[in-house]
A and B are shown apart, each in its own frame.
Chain A
């Protein structure tokens, strides 16, 4: 059974972080990503889902199978209506953390994907979009 190529799921609690990992794993397998590429995409999704739940106060993950000529890829968006990120450069620095984490979530997940886009403003939530091509 294959998932539709576009969809979304809520990210409201810790259980949803686990569900998002499983969803991304299924999608990456359908796209026949290599095991390493699957692992990178699932790990990035785990980091960003947790950010959405813990810092964004919950939100959703949207997914889309995208193509560029013969290439297929997986695009994920993590959106919340939380407080936003006041200093983006700082938040993207290795080791910087606003919570109790290691500060590798945002900067680290950027290294695991091919494309990384972040839109945020204080009080207006955050949306992080990542894409990995096969």
Chain B
């Protein structure tokens, strides 16, 4: 009897140790670090309370980054969810070559993000990029895609959206295929048009999955790093920095470890709240199912 009480804890121990080592410890260490003045140059750190957070609020670059972080999910999450949903609806129809289309449309999800970044750098290239060649071909003048401070984040969102829509598409396609076709047949008998069938049957039936993938995409894309860092390094003029790239810049380019940790703590708080929303939606979806 005694053995059966302790055995489950022992079996959980390796996983618990792993979680403490790779999640809990770095998180606590990061929070602790954010309350110090540690840099690469200061071998010992002094406790300075919330000073780094006060500096963040006075850092005009951080405020730019915060602004970017509001726009960024709007561009990328809405972009990937809308395009993924639209493609899922199309792929849910019967048409010739549907299987082939499903395969092809999944390809971006399989491409490493580093490769995506490099490909899009060349697509946008001001001198030899194919987009600018097309612009010139139709009589326009070169567009400085990634160096336009006002538009750089928008152009940056395209490759990210392209890379991340297949997940949404796949999840929603699975949801669409689970809808009982008799519902549509009954609606047809009642004289419902295509829009009414979508609004009153399709959307309510996939609402749970839609909410889930939206929150999940937000969590992934809010702190997206690699494509941004490779394509612009956060520039021009910080126009494409988000919290993740700016924290990296402060931590590993200017070596302000504590200051970078403070940015990480802000990011952690936002993502923690997002995770709560995700868990809530997940619970609700399980109840609905």
B is a partner of A: no
- Which residues does A use to contact B, with CB under 8 Å? none
